[in-house]
Chains A and B, each alone.
Chain A
């Protein structure tokens, strides 16, 4: 039982924790917990159709995008193409941070520049697959404006990071 629980993802543990919190809240004040649960169901029912759409997009991205292809274009001599691939890779590759950092660490060992790593890490809010959810909550104008600023600032942060890291020289290959 404990082993099964330990194998669960962080999200699943968090969800189970919240179920326990609702049960405790129900014992303390049933009407409050019931009202909160109805609010939760209402929010979930509105969000579910959008999440279905989101996962259809993710499936299409997974079908046609191979991270290995992007990896090859992020090396030491990648030039302008490297900046484009770093931006493209960060918006298309959907992974949690604890997967992203080891992946970037591996790319660093193969010559990825610090500036490209900064671009890669700065663009994660412009993932097309998740943009329908952003549009649902904040509107189309907001989504377009904020996405443009994120892309522009990620390039700026890449330029600044390349200046800051200059004293270490270029990243070694291999």
Chain B
């Protein structure tokens, strides 16, 4: 049991070492850029059911990292006025679509699988974002 706890602690510590600097870096980036772009978010993200999730999904597709980093980024952008529709597509595409990791995915899982999966997940992230917002509107 003690051995298991030690192994679990070391694994968790590795996770912290990997994630915390990334999260701190993202928070620093957002805190620096938000005052500069604050006025533009509402002009770009108007709540349009096509363009907002499309922009969000494109941004998420070219970003990478553990999912929690996307929640921090998306959450901070939401506070600054980016629509929930765009932010939802962004956080989904972040972990479901891996454009930057496509060469690695192709080499390990095959070209056809990687290209089909990423293309399909891009559209799924947009679909889930739209469905989520519609569902939340119905619930509320």
Contacts A37-B31, A145-B135, A145-B139 given; does A51 touch B96 at CB 8 Å: no
Known: A11-B19, A125-B95, A141-B139. A161 touches B113 (CB 8 A): yes
Instruction: Tell me the number of A-to-B contacts counted with CB atoms below 8 Å.
Output: 186
Give which listed residue, B16, B22, B101, B131, contacts A97 with CB less than 8 A: B101
Q: Judge whether A149 and B76 touch: CB under 8 Å.
A: no
Chain A residues whose C-beta falls within 8 Å of the C-beta of B34 in the assembled complex: 39
Separation in Å of the A97 CB from the closest CB of chain B? Answer: 5
Q: How many residues of B contact A (CB 8 A)?
A: 67
| Interface pairs (18), CB distance under 8 Å | A11-B65, A15-B25, A18-B32, A19-B28, A21-B32, A22-B28, A36-B35, A37-B31, A47-B72, A59-B12, A62-B12, A105-B107, A117-B113, A127-B67, A138-B74, A138-B87, A141-B136, A145-B139
By secondary structure, the A interface counts as helix
> Is A70's beta carbon under 8 Å from chain B?
no
B interface with A by C-beta (< 8 Å)? 4-5, 7-9, 11-12, 15-32, 34-35, 64-68, 71-72, 74-76, 78, 84, 87-88, 91-92, 95-96, 98, 101, 104-105, 107-109, 112-113, 116-117, 120-121, 124, 127-128, 131-132, 135-136, 139-140
* Known contacts A39-B35, A149-B135, A150-B92, then 5 further A-B pairs from the complex at CB < 8 Å, ordered by chain A residue: A9-B17, A14-B26, A18-B25, A62-B12, A97-B98
Contact present for B32 and A25 (CB under 8 Å) = yes
Report whether B74 and A157 are in contact in the complex, using a CB–CB cutoff of 8 Å.
Answer: no
Q: How far is the CB of B107 from chain A (nearest CB, A)?
A: 8
Cβ contact within 8 Å between A137 and B136: no
